[in-house]
């Protein structure tokens, strides 16, 4: 796929700013990876990394999670948001893995999305981290940046934005760009008070143009 100058500039800027962009969740095997991603919904990776060591130490396998009391799982992850729902999903997911998949995590998106608590984004991120399939999963940072760069509208669903980004950027860049967009969103292109002075993509930014014209009035 041939990128336009706009996409080349975006990739070049991100690689200059974040040459080592990668997952910040800590995991050591597929089960830990999947559960860490599930836990990261509406909370920070830093918070997840604080609760996963005791969780994985106490329940290192899906069998042990399936046999656990949900309250005991809750106690391990109590400090993160939505811990009640997440604990129930972890228990239900582990039960399905044991009963239907022999404790093995399926490596196809369609099968993953049949598991409790696993939607399109979680499945896509997991497969990306496992190196099994390439996707461009969209979280809140990526949606915001895509909107500001003119690739999406605010009312668009994440999956629609994902499909659009996958048509625009070459497949070999999806994994890197997924992480780099997140770094960029946390560091510079923030939801509130973005650091536009640090960004070299201003000529493509809908947000900057809108706010510059408001300021100039």
Query: Is domain 5-20+136-216 classified as CATH 3.40.50.10490?
Result: no
pLDDT band at 215 (very low <50, low <70, confident <90, very high): very low
Q: pLDDT tens for residues 106-152? A: 999 999 999 999 999 999 999 999 998 999 999 999 999 999 999 99
**For the packed helices 83-101 and 70-77, what is the interaxial angle rounded to 10 degrees?**
130
Q: Give the start-to-end residue ranges of the domains of the chain.
A: 5-20+136-216, 30-130
pLDDT digits (tens, 9 = 90+) for 40-88: 999 999 999 999 999 999 999 999 999 999 999 999 999 998 999 999 9
Q: How many residues does the chain have?
A: 217
pLDDT of residue 154: 92
30-130 fold: Endonuclease III; domain 1 (1.10.340)
**Tokens describing residue 65:** 């999670």
Q: What pLDDT is recorded for position 61?
A: 98
Tell me the average pLDDT across 144-173: 97
Output the average pLDDT for the chain. 95
Q: What is the mean pLDDT of residues 166-170?
A: 97
* Statement: residue 211 has pLDDT above 90: no
Average pLDDT (184-193) is 96
Sequence-distant (≥ 6) Cβ neighbours of residue 166 within 8 angstroms:
135, 136, 174
Catalytically active residues are 121, 139
Range 51-59 contact pairs with CB under 8 angstroms and sequence separation of 24 or more: 51/76, 51/77, 51/78, 51/79, 51/80, 52/26, 52/27, 56/28, 56/32
Please tell me the predicted confidence (pLDDT) of residue 124. Answer: 97
SS (H, E, C) the chain: CCCCHHHHHHHHHHHHHCCCCCCCCCCCCHHHHHHHHHHCCCCCHHHHHHHHHHHHHHCCCHHHHHCCCHHHHHHHHCCCCCHHHHHHHHHHHHHHHHHHHCCCCCCCHHHHCCCCCCCHHHHHHHHHHHCCCCCCCCCHHHHHHHHHCCCCCCCCCHHHHHHHHHHHCCHHHHHHHHHHHHHHHHHCCCCCCCCHHHCCCHHHCHHHHHHHHHHHC
Cβ neighbourhood burial of 78 (10 Å; 0-12, 13-18, 19+): exposed
Q: For position 5, what pLDDT does the model report?
A: 95
pLDDT of residue 210: 85
Asked if 177 and 14 touch (Cβ cutoff 8 Å), the reply is yes
pLDDT band at 214 (very low <50, low <70, confident <90, very high): low
> Does residue 217 surpass a pLDDT of 50?
no
Specify whether the CB–CB gap between 173 and 142 falls below 8 A.
Answer: no
């Amino acid at each position: 796929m041939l990128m336009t100058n706009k996409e080349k500039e975006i990739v070049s800027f991100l690689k200059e700013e974040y040459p080592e962009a990668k997952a910040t969740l800590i995991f050591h095997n597929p089960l830990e990876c999947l559960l860490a991603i599930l836990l990261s919904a509406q909370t920070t990776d830093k918070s997840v990394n604080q609760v996963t060591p005791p969780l994985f130490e106490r329940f290192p396998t899906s069998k042990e999670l399936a046999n656990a009391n949900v309250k005991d799982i809750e106690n391990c992850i109590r400090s993160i948001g939505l811990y009640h729902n997440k604990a129930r999903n972890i228990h239900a997911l582990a039960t399905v893995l044991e009963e239907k998949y022999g404790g093995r995590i399926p490596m196809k998106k369609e099968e993953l999305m049949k598991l409790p608590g696993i939607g399109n984004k979680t499945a896509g991120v997991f497969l990306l981290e496992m190196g099994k399939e390439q996707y461009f999963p969209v979280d809140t940072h990526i949606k915001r940046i895509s909107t500001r760069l003119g690739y999406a509208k605010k009312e668009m669903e994440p999956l629609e934005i994902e499909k659009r980004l996958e048509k625009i950027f070459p497949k070999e860049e999806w994994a890197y760009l997924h992480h780099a967009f997140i770094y960029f969103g946390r560091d510079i292109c923030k939801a509130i008070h973005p650091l536009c002075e640090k960004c070299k993509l201003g000529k493509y930014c809908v947000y900057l143009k809108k706010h510059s014209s408001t300021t100039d009035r």
